[in-house]
A and B are shown apart, each in its own frame.
Chain A
Amino acid sequence: MPKIARSVPGFLTNVELDQALGSPRTRQRWEADGLLPRGRWIKGFQKRLGIYPDILLARVVAGVDAQESEDAVREAMRIGARLIDSRLFESVASLLEEHLVEYRGLTRGVLDHLAEADLLAPLEEELAAAEESLEAIGIAFQSRPATVTMLGPTLRVVDGFGAQTLLPATQVLGIVGAGEVVTLEEVRVGARGLSYVLPTTTTAATDPAEEIWAEMFAGVDRAPVVIPVLADDTEPDANGGDVVRMRRRIRVDLPLASYAGANSMASRSRAPA
């Protein structure tokens, strides 16, 4: 059965992370304080772009002190730091460096370049493995495709099952447009959670609902039947097929009273109201 085509980036740039934290200064301070690992930075064309694994959002959700979840959050930061230093992130950084002039954060253009270089799939795989290991210690990640149906101070997205979610624009990480297919992400650390929207490489022409509809019919494993539909052009008052009592030279018409009181279709015990 066809699945909804999507590519979840699995990483953020400093633009989205700053937005989630409220300002670049907060990120810089948290990095200096060891709350967040420093990202991998790409420089060129008088621009700089930092890239981070999105599991670092666990710290954003938890705040500076996650209390009983602090150990789990520290583990997420440790894994995040390892990913930033990995060959995979190095490859991502090298690729993005070639196109840095185009970027204003995490855009579909970034993702398209990664997809073309076959780097998105390994990124997704690596991040999925990291998320799985973190789920075992109480940090949950959820991601599902959705369509942006309204932009403004509040963003409305509808997922493939028709569920509607309203989010403040501050929780839109990246640049998305109305009608665009995005991923609706959720990170939960203990009782605390954060929902946000990220762009994907999925085209806006793909409607998740239509995809599900297609899936439902794709599951029907039978040969199609061609039915020649017959037009029903019979007039409602046409006499076709009925026997007509013709007018003849003699007329026999006994009064109905001759047959009265013998209607076995009608119960005698039932008088008119």
Chain B
Amino acid sequence: MSTYTAAPRDLLSFGDICEAEFLYDVHARADARALTREEASAPFARKKWQIDEAVSYFVPLGPTDESYVLAHGRPRTALLLSDDCLIETALGRDGRDPSGRLLFAPVAPASQDTLDSLDELPTYGRFGLRSDEVHAEHAIVELRRCFMVDARDVAALADGFSVRSLTDETRDGLALRWAAYAIRRGKFVVEDNLEKFGELLLDAGIEQAAAERFAVAVAAAAAAAWRYEGSGIEEAGLAFDQGNPPFPVVERLEEQLQDLLKASTAALDEVVRMKAELR
């Protein structure tokens, strides 16, 4: 499975790996302080630092109306976590001026051992990116250390900000992990919860195969619900945005509800069977 597309997507997108001098995983600690900006004149800057322009300097002076803060952070390669719809709006692709902020997560280089460990004991806040034919180094997306960047500055950048894009499959995995970390929903959380519940079933004397069959069926219903919401209902909204006719949407909803019904029926059968066994 490839992690990255052969070339970055034409438009900046969810999951793109980005590089710029101003990408810092800034975060506040107890020593964060509001800063006041002052200015050293151009003649002074020339004398002191051989810089031919006025130079701002910052002084921590308590509450201030200015939006500068002394905080912690490191320069990072970062992955864009905002969704494609928000990116469109924030970057002003709809004709308006760029505004708002985009969400990024730091991307750290990782060893093979680290990725193997993460596979063995995955966490909600980290997502591994394996090397492939496009990029030869392993990396980890640190969802738990995300930070925001002003969209105006991203929009002002020329080409080169996005250095790699994820394949659709990798983006699906990233979205699921992000849902797990951000809102505790989706595949990763469902499966974690059902694995925990499996411990109870085994302790209650249920056979492992039966416990696994039960968990998989219940998880499959959740997956069908995910598809129904993320595809069928999502397309209903998209049809409005794109001025598409409603009939194909209704057909698609019917199809996905049938899938959901089938998966729910299978899950219900397993739940009823388990209920009987536990009595």
Contacts and interface: CB of A to CB of B under 8 A. Distances in A.
A232 B29 contact: yes
A161 B47 CA distance: 7
A239 B219 contact: no
Main secondary structure of the interface of A (DSSP, over half): loop
Interface stretch (A27-35, A76-84, A109-117, A250-258): A250-258
A161 B178 CA distance: 54
A239 B123 contact: yes
A266 B171 contact: yes
B198 A249 contact: yes
Contact of B121 (A245, A262, A263): A245
B264 interface: no
B201 to A, nearest CB: 8
Interface of B: 5-11, 13-15, 29-31, 33, 38, 40-41, 43-48, 59-62, 70, 72, 74, 83-85, 88, 108, 110, 114, 120-126, 140, 144, 165, 167-169, 171-176, 178, 186-188, 190-192, 194-196, 198-199, 201-202, 208, 211-212, 215-216, 219-220, 223, 226-231, 234-235, 238, 242
B238 A268 contact: yes
Nearest to A248: B195
A220 B59 contact: yes
Interface residues of A, number: 49
Contacts of B171: 263, 265-266
Given A249-B202, A250-B195, A254-B216, A216 B38 contact: yes
Given A250-B201, A254-B187, A266-B14, 9 more contacts: A161-B43, A220-B38, A242-B124, A244-B121, A258-B187, A262-B227, A263-B175, A270-B84, A273-B10
A230 B208 contact: no
Nearest to B242: A269
